[in-house]
Structure formats: C-alpha cells, structure tokens
Amino acid sequence: MDVSYSRSRAHGDPTLWSTLEVRNGFKLQQHDYIDYYRILDPEEYRVDIGLDEQSMLNSFLEIAEQHDRLH
C-alpha cells in the first residue's frame, strides 16, 4: 500500500502533547487535555491529525513503514 501525506507546520504548545510512539523519526502524539492525536514527521511537520486513536495508530504505522522502505 502506498501512503502519501501532506505536511503542515505543527501548531500549538509542544508541551501539551505526549509522545505515544516513535518509529523512523515519526512521532504519534496525543494532546494532554483534549482527545486529539497527531503524527509528526522527522522534521516536526504535522502529517495527520484525528480523533480516533486506532485510526491514527494505523496511519502512523503505515507512514513510518513506508518511509522505512523508501529510505
């Protein structure tokens, strides 16, 4: 499966986000006060954001795996 993503600057106070997992430089994070999840690439750009933890975990694993295969 080919996963592509668009990048945008990560906004918000980085101290309000907890890192749940790191793979190949990508981070899956959860906001400390609201039920939001985000994926940051190795350069700290946001590549995905969502409310469903399982969907975000799946997206995170696909993006990190694809990045590993390409590099």
CB 58 within 8 A of CB 66: no
Q: Which structure tokens are listed for 38? A: 């985000």
* pTM, full prediction: 0.82
Q: Which of these, 49, 46, 42, lies nearest to 70 by C-alpha position?
A: 42
Q: Tell me the pLDDT tens digit for each residue of 54-71.
A: 999 999 999 999 987 887
Measure the CA–CA gap between 48 and 10, rounded to whole angstroms.
10
Average pLDDT (25-34) is 96
